Each structure stands twice: as structure tokens, then as C-alpha cells.
Homo-oligomer: A and B are copies of this chain.
Amino acid sequence: MLQTHEAVASLNSYFKDKFLKTRAQSMVICEPLEIEDFVVQPIVDVSPPKWHLAHTTWFFETFILVPNLKGYRVFNPDYAYLFNSYYITAGDRWTRAERGHLTRPTVKDIYNYRKYVDEHFLEFLSKEEITDGHLQYLIEIGLQHEQQHQELLLYDIKYVLGHNPLFPAYSEMVEHENREHKQRWISIDEGKHQIGFHGNGFSFDNEKGRHTVFLHAFEISSDPVTNGEYLEFMESGGYSRSTLWLSDGWDWTQKHQVNSPMYWVRNDDKWNHYTLGGLKTLDLNEPVSHVSFYEADAYARWAEKRLPTEFEWEVACQKEEPEIPASANFVENGYLAPISSDDTQFYGNLWEWTESAYRPYPYYKTDEGTIGEYNGKFMMNQMVLRGGSYATPREHIRSTYRNFFQPHLQWLFNGIRLAAHIQ
């Protein structure tokens, strides 16, 4: 799989560099937190930060060190039970919904756990060159996995702090200006297209199985919908017109009394929104975020458009941005927020809901063994998102990358891109 890295002196040194960088980045993300922030789970979707730190460590310990590092002793035999997430074939697990009940191991214990595993992992890499392809794949998965949890860490931290009536800031935000939105419509002719990953680098199993799809002619927006545009939808009664909504979406708004994106706070006839920098006046030029699929879909219907399919998104992205542009807003930029620009934006900024259900590609095959539980078993009742967000590491994303979440979720860093058929 890793022929892309031919240039590197050795794979082991590539892994070492990436491991050090990736593991350090998780710590950087948690640096502004108070110890208290590491512990709680206000909704089942949000895991305690310390759980993320331990789970990603357990992943390396369980899938790399235990089977491959001779003489390795697990840091604590209870941790497999505590930090296995959903791998049924890897043994019993602590109940997901009760992760926020566990005060021990402490944050300090988990930092020690990370240190212990890091040292052994580096020791492992310092031994002979890794030549087994599956083992190479597992190490790369471990790194990608930790990058995914870095993004989840930011979702979960924002949830915990943003649902606290004190609205504490996570950190100071980098100053930036949201330029006015200049939407452009990109047209794609009808025809056959190749979908899915090909090439030599890493990809997840769910994007493999390069295959042909036929797309009818369509147009797609160059960049996402803004807060100002979404506010128009709200002010025109978007949340009270049932005909704009899918039935399950309507029921969801009624049951949870949803009438704005998550983190929008109404104060004295003015909209604020909670950002990682604290509570701020709503910026109308900023791309709208924290809308569920249901809201994105209702907005698109109101705008007399629709969401793109994941195939349309992939084709348009590859056409418009064959390379990831330097200007894309990723975690490395440190903005900690979506940003409007007058450029085309497919990568970074916000994950975009597509109208595609998350289902297997034609030749999809799950990986062998426990790692086979990584993606495939979730291909039901979820929708595909594409493109990455301001919390995604630049090197983590691809045009073929398939992210997926349940349609009612608002806590991720997602937005709305519109599309339409050309008739």
C-alpha cells in the first residue's frame, strides 16, 4: 500500500515521524483543557476527551504491540475492557453510554499510558524494518484513526463547553475576516465517471472498489451556504413549514424543539453563536455549520435546489480542485472556525452533507479480522459527508474520502453545499 512513500529512506522512519507528529497533536488539542473537561459525556455521541486519548492508545497497543512486539506487557490488563470502543471481536467492552461515569483512570494515568505505549511503539519501530504489508496497513490505520479522533476531540470539546451556561472559550481564536460570499455554479455534463479510490497511498476500505457511475448533467455550488443565507431560511419560517422537511426530520424538530443550528443563542433579539473562542455575534458571512442533514435538506428544498450526491461531489471536486489548494482551511491553519472566501472550496472548512446514504460500493469488501469492524458495519441509517473540515489534518483528506454520520446530528463541523440537475 505504501508505495507512495518510496522516496522515504525507510517506511520505519516514515512511521516514526508520522507517529511522533500525530501523537503529539492529540496532546496539543487537549492542552487548553482543564482536568474537569476530560471526564464528561453529556450525550452518548460525545466521549470524554480522556477516553479518546486512551482509546487511540489502546488501538496501537492491541493491534500492533500485543501481536508483534515480543515480550510486550500491556500497561494495564483492565484497559482493554475500558477502552475498546465497538470491536465486538476484540472482547467485552464498558458500555458506551457510561464512558462519562468513569473518573479513573485519571488524566495523569492516561498520559502515562500514552507515554508507555509511545515508548514501546518507538522501540518496535527501531527494531527491524517492517515488511509485512498487513502490518504496514495496520500501523497506517492506527495513525489515521488517531487523526479521526483528533477531529472528534474538537467536536466533543466544543459540545461540552458550548452547552455550559458559562460558555467558556476553548482558546483564543486567530483573527480572520469572512469575505462576502460569491457563489459560482459549476456545471458538469452527463456521462460516466470513475468513483472511488485509486492510486498508491492510503485509503479506507469504504472508498475502495473503483467503479463506474453514470451521472446526469448537474450543477454544483462552488462554496457552502452562509449564516446569512440560512438566517433568511429561518426568517421565512423554514422551521415551521412541514412541507420543506423529511418526515423523520420534521418529527426530530418537533421532539427536540429545534429551531436553529446548534450553538446559536438568542440574546435580546440578537443571534450569537458559540465558537471555540467563546460566545460571539453571529457572523453572517461565515459558512453555516452545525446543521443536521435534516436541516441541510430542508434548506436546500427551500432554496429550490438539492444536496449533491456523494458522486457528484467527488466528480466536481476532482474537476475543480485536482490538488488540495494551499488556501484550504484545515486544522493546521489554526482558525478553529469555518471561513468564507471568494474561492472555490471543496476541501476543509466544513464537511458537507450529501444526499447519499452511506452504503457499500459495488465491490466493497471489509478488511479481514477485527479491523473489519472499522467501517463496514456502520453502512446503515447514516449519510455521507465529503471534504473535511477546519478540524481535519490536511494530509488526512482525499477527494474520495467518505465520512458518515446519522442524519439528526448537529455537533460535527458540517455545512451545506447545494446542487441541482440541469434539465
A residues at B contact (CB < 8 Å):
34-40, 42, 50, 78, 81-82, 86, 88-89, 94, 98, 100-107, 160-161, 163-166, 168, 190, 192, 211-214, 216, 242-243, 245-250, 294, 306, 355-357, 359-360, 362-363, 372-373, 377-381, 407, 421, 423
- Which chain B residues lie closer than 8 Å to A81 at the CB level? 165
- A39-B36, A214-B212, A247-B380 given; A78·B192 CB < 8 A: no
Closest 4 CB pairs of A and B: A357-B357, A42-B101, A36-B103, A214-B214
Give Cα A31–Cα B379 distance, bound, in whole angstroms: 43
- Which chain B residues lie closer than 8 Å to A35 at the CB level? 35-36, 106-107
Q: Which of A34, A356, A360, A378 has the most CB of B within 10 A?
A: A34
Contact A373 B243 (CB under 8 A): yes
Give Cα A35–Cα B211 distance, bound, in whole angstroms: 53
Contact B39 A39 (CB under 8 A): yes
Contact A363 B421 (CB under 8 A): yes
- Which chain B residues lie closer than 8 Å to A190 at the CB level? 212
- Distance of A422 from chain B, by nearest CB (Å): 11
Contact A36 B107 (CB under 8 A): yes
- Which chain B residues lie closer than 8 Å to A164 at the CB level? 101-104
Contact A247 B86 (CB under 8 A): yes
- Distance of A196 from chain B, by nearest CB (Å): 12
- Which chain B residues lie closer than 8 Å to A168 at the CB level? 104
From B38, B104, B165, B247, contact of A161 by CB (8 A): B104
Give Cα A173–Cα B214 distance, bound, in whole angstroms: 47
- A36-B38, A212-B214 given; A407·B423 CB < 8 A: no
Give Cα A421–Cα B363 distance, bound, in whole angstroms: 7
Q: Which of A35, A211, A421 has the most CB of B within 10 A?
A: A35
Give Cα A101–Cα B35 distance, bound, in whole angstroms: 14
Contact A381 B248 (CB under 8 A): yes
Give Cα A212–Cα B355 distance, bound, in whole angstroms: 18
Contact A103 B243 (CB under 8 A): no
From B36, B94, B107, B362, contact of A216 by CB (8 A): B362
Give 11 pairs: A residue, B residue, CB < 8 Å, sorted on A: A34-B103, A34-B106, A37-B104, A88-B250, A101-B160, A192-B192, A247-B378, A306-B360, A357-B357, A363-B421, A380-B407
- A36-B35, A247-B86, A407-B381 given; A213·B212 CB < 8 A: no
